[in-house]
Amino acid sequence: MALATRVQNRVRTQLLIELTNPNDKTATTVETTVLGYAVTDTAADFETYAGVAYDDTDARHVAEAVRGVVVRLEVNAGRAKAERLTEWQDRMDRMFRLRHGNDRIMPQSSSRLTPQTEAPSGEVRPWFDLEETFNDLIPNESPVNEDV
């Protein structure tokens, strides 16, 4: 079942007539061209913000996409501010990206350097990074090499 059909089955017909015909108060049918554009834009937003393609067989996708189509139609008809669409897009980002992890950047390096293990005598560390360097600055601290 196409997203446009799902929207028509889930949203009141009168509301869809008002949203798809914002300048025609006498309209009695849903303007399918306007609805089709909103569906196409919402499916594109779904892929952009959710990080996955819209899947008509996934109930979570259908529920959010229907909401997105209605929000887009409201914004296009002037019944809602553009921030409402941005809120829906942010919601999509939070809901689906966290579950799929598509925005993870895998660590890579082209460095020829290899990490070295610390020598027991502390030779690898610079003098200012040695453990005993700052102990004399800590109040009430006994020196490192002193026996108690």
CA torsion through residues 44, 48, 52, 58, sign:
negative
The whole-number pLDDT of residue 100 equals: 47
The whole-number pLDDT of residue 47 equals: 83
- Domain region containing 18: 3-100
Beta-carbon contacts of 84 under 8 Å, excluding residues fewer than 6 positions away, are 71, 74, 75
Q: Residue 48: which pLDDT band, with cuts at 50, 70 and 90?
A: confident
The whole-number pLDDT of residue 25 equals: 87
71 CB-contact burial (10 Å; exposed 0-12 / middle 13-18 / buried 19+): buried
Beta-carbon contacts of 19 under 8 Å, excluding residues fewer than 6 positions away, are 70, 73, 74, 76, 77, 79
Is residue 57 assigned to a domain?
yes
User: Token pair for residue 53?
Assistant: 């393609």
Is residue 25 assigned to a domain?
yes
For residue 59, CA distances in Å to 22, 33, 67, 115, 144 come to 30, 25, 12, 49, 64
Residue in the structure block whose two tokens are 């006498």: 26
* Arithmetic mean of pLDDT over the chain: 79
For the chain, what percent of residues have pLDDT higher than 90?
A: 28
Arithmetic mean of pLDDT, 101-121: 65
Amino acid of residue 84:
R
Domain count, the chain: 1
Is residue 61 assigned to a domain?
yes
Is residue 108 assigned to a domain?
no
pTM score of the predicted model: 0.62
User: Token pair for residue 82?
Assistant: 């553009």
Is residue 7 assigned to a domain?
yes
Is residue 141 assigned to a domain?
no
| Spatial contact of 84 and 91, defined as CB atoms under 8 Å apart | no
Is residue 138 assigned to a domain?
no
Amino acid of residue 26:
T
